[in-house]
Amino acid sequence: MAFFPLGYKDAVQQWWTSVTPTVAERNVISCIPYLREAIAAESSPLARVPSAEDPGQTQTSAKNDPYGPRMWKSTMVTLSGKNRGLNEFSIERVGEPVDDTLVMLHGYGAGLGFYYKNFEPLSRLAGWKIYALDWLGMGNSKRPPFKITAKDPKEKTTEAENWFIDSLEEWRKIRKLDKFTIIGHSLGGYLAVSYALKYPGHIKKLILASPVGVPEDPYAMNAEMPEPSESTFQDEFTVDQEATTTHHDNDRLQSASNQRAGVADANANAPKKRPYPSWLVWLWDANVSPFSIVRLAGPLGPRFVSGWTSRRFNHLPDEEKQTLHDYAYSLFRQKGSGEYVLPYVLAPGAHARRPVINRIHAVGRQTVPATDSSPAVKETGFPIVFMYGENDWMDVAGGLASEEKLKEAKAKILSQASDEEKQKENGSCKVIVVTKAGHHLYLDNPDEFNDYITKELNETRRQTLLQKAQS
């Protein structure tokens, strides 16, 4: 396959006739099973596709939805300040009480539509309401200017993270949510950790799907030092999806565990050492985002994007593959905003400037500030799940190292805890590897991914019902 398979003529035509980002989102939402059939069966004006193109709601009935009735809704949630708002897509079961909430957060430069293969299976679960959000400055959310005023490198990183997580907290207050479960993919997982640390007391379970920025790298905090050369970040753009969704015999979890224990393993994938060219490092540090290149490419933008979409989505049916290509291009060509966060939180090669591994032990262990109705209280931990694809360019060893740190923190706390504190303890961690999947595991192997998430949500639901019964 050519690196840019879309021809010049076709690229110019797509550029000239391309759909708007909101229409592109609607087209992706239209691929959701049962919602698609329900809309096709209706002839009334109310048969709408809830999306950023047509905010509103549509209800699927038990007649055309075997897991219904369900309400599918799209809303632009307005935040304080100028040009600030989050694009929201939600699903809930009609006529049933809602006790649990799942919030799905996408990765860098992406959008909530990429979860289209997960919405329907996960919304079958009783007692749950699902929200998917576009981060501020990404997807179809509002795109205010992204400005960093701090001078110190560490303060710049913190300010960049706050730009996103402060908007998430404001959204939570608007939706009047007390506690919720998060799924965060890639950068969304990294930011979910930052949210948990800054705004404690609101997370029931944290599911990190191939989170970026977990391992520590001594070079990443100092821009004057040589950048690290050991990364598989380039696989996101070069590896064909057929290779990503192929199962291999080696057990990646076991291989990573053996490497951490110093045991030789012939099946372990050796780290790839590919020094980044100086021009790439310069572009990264100069905050020239890949989406800037798409915009500058003009009529050739669709051809440039096809280099990624042709590899990332080539396991999908042709119609869905084209729909996701159109969606990706429509998002990438929008006005730059949240995309400019990249060099503030990551160094070239996706190495974090404030690694998760150095902060993960404190997640779920913060002090929840006092309110008018309740005193300050210390968190007693919550379940954290790391998920990776077996062919992920993110290293599962980072998840395993995080698991060790969390277990050590829990053991230290329990060694000094009273009987009452031990009874309240709720911290845990596990690492899961999804077969036949890479970095986009929710899309590479959605059936297995959805099965794992369903089990996690059912476990959380049991805890919710137990707490209700005891209260």
Catalytically active residues are: 186, 392, 439
Residue 425: both structure tokens together: 């303890």
Q: What is the 3-state secondary structure (H, E, C) of 175-208?
A: CCCCCEEEEEECHHHHHHHHHHHHCCCCEEEEEE
User: Cα separation of 128 and 453, whole Å?
Assistant: 13
**CB-based contact 280:274 (threshold 8 Å):** no
Helix (H, G, I), strand (E, B) or coil at 157: helix
CA atoms within 13 A on the CB side of 182: 30
User: Cα separation of 87 and 99, whole Å?
Assistant: 23
Task: Select from 200, 137, 213 the least CA-distant residue to 172.
Answer: 200
Q: What length is written for the chain?
A: 471
**In the chain, what's the furthest Cα-to-Cα distance?**
71
H-run or E-run covering 85: strand 85-93
Is the peptide bond between 5 and the residue preceding it cis, with omega within 30 degrees of 0?
Answer: no
Task: Select from 62, 137, 134, 56 the least CA-distant residue to 95.
Answer: 62
DSSP 8-state class, residue 276: P
Exposed, middle or buried: residue 17 (CB in 10 Å: 0-12, 13-18, 19+)?
exposed
Task: Select from 24, 4, 40 the least CA-distant residue to 320.
Answer: 24
- Please report, as a single letter, which amino acid is at residue 267: N
Q: Per DSSP, what are the bridge partners of residue 363?
A: none
Helix (H, G, I), strand (E, B) or coil at 115: helix
User: Cα separation of 282 and 426, whole Å?
Assistant: 45
Torsion of CA 308, 312, 316, 322, to 10 degrees: -20
